[in-house]
């Protein structure tokens, strides 16, 4: 991923988190010695096709999902008041908004895309490290929470 795309992703993450959830992520390197023993990581992803085929994945700690839900709802719920399904719904919707903004910024506003349903799952520690070793990602930090976005686009083959 080139720097131009990374800059666009950082800008979109900043805009979407601040306008939707009143959080202000800053671009960051992955902190040294990330310890996942004390925090569950969640991955939400979607695929898209049309003007360009690809996928987007957002990886965040589960505790951030509850905070996002609170901020998006404008209420401060107790931890056990928000079902996991609703916490995941909040982060899925955030990725949905990020996808809409990002694809337009990268490919222009005439490009048409079809998005698949969003899927959320727990990311095991080994899967997390596998992902950051094998994928090109952009890392942001918001209130000490990791926010990782992976954009992967397939190379289009054109007929001559």
Partner 1 sequence: MALNILIVDDSRTIRNILVKTLKLTEIDIGEIYQAGNGEEGLECLRENWVDLVLSDLNMPVMTGFEMIDKMFEDELLCKIPVVVISTEGSVTRIEELKKKGVRDYVRKPFTPETIGEIIASITGVICNGSKA
**Shortest approach of partner 1 to residue 94 CB, angstroms?**
9
Distance CA 149, CA 10 (A): 9
Q: How far, rounded to the nearest angstrom, does the alpha carbon of residue 144 sit from its chain's CA centroid?
A: 16
Nearer to partner 1, 112 or 160 (CB): 112
Q: 119: closest CA among 138, 152, 139, 95?
A: 95
**Shortest approach of partner 1 to residue 95 CB, angstroms?**
10
Could you give the 3-state DSSP secondary structure of residue 134? helix
What binding mask, one character per residue, do residues 19-58 give for partner 1 by CB under 8 A, x or -? Answer: xx--------------------------------------
Which of 1, 62, 97, 132 touches partner 1 (CB under 8 A)?
97
Residue 53's CB is within 10 A of a number of other CB atoms, namely: 15
Q: Which of residues 74-93 bind partner 1 (CB under 8 A)?
A: 74, 86, 89-90, 92-93
**85 contact partners, CB below 8 Å, separation of at least 6:** none
Residues of this chain that interact with partner 1 (CB under 8 A) are 16, 19-20, 69, 72-74, 86, 89-90, 92-93, 96-97, 99-101, 103-104, 109-113, 115, 117
């Amino acid at each position: 991923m080139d720097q131009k795309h990374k800059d666009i992703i950082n800008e979109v993450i900043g805009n979407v988190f601040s306008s939707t959830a009143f959080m202000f992520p800053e671009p960051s390197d992955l902190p040294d010695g990330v310890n996942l023993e004390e925090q569950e990581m969640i991955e939400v992803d979607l695929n898209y096709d049309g003007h360009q085929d690809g996928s987007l994945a957002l990886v965040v700690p589960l505790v951030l999902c509850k905070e996002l839900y609170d901020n998006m709802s404008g209420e401060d719920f107790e931890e056990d008041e928000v079902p996991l399904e609703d916490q995941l719904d909040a982060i899925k919707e955030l990725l949905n908004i990020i996808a809409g903004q990002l694809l337009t910024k990268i490919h222009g506003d005439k490009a048409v895309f079809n998005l698949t349903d969003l899927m959320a799952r727990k990311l095991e520690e080994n899967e997390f490290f596998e992902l950051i070793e094998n994928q090109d990602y952009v890392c942001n930090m918001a209130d000490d929470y990791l926010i990782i976005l992976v954009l992967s686009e397939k190379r289009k083959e054109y007929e001559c």
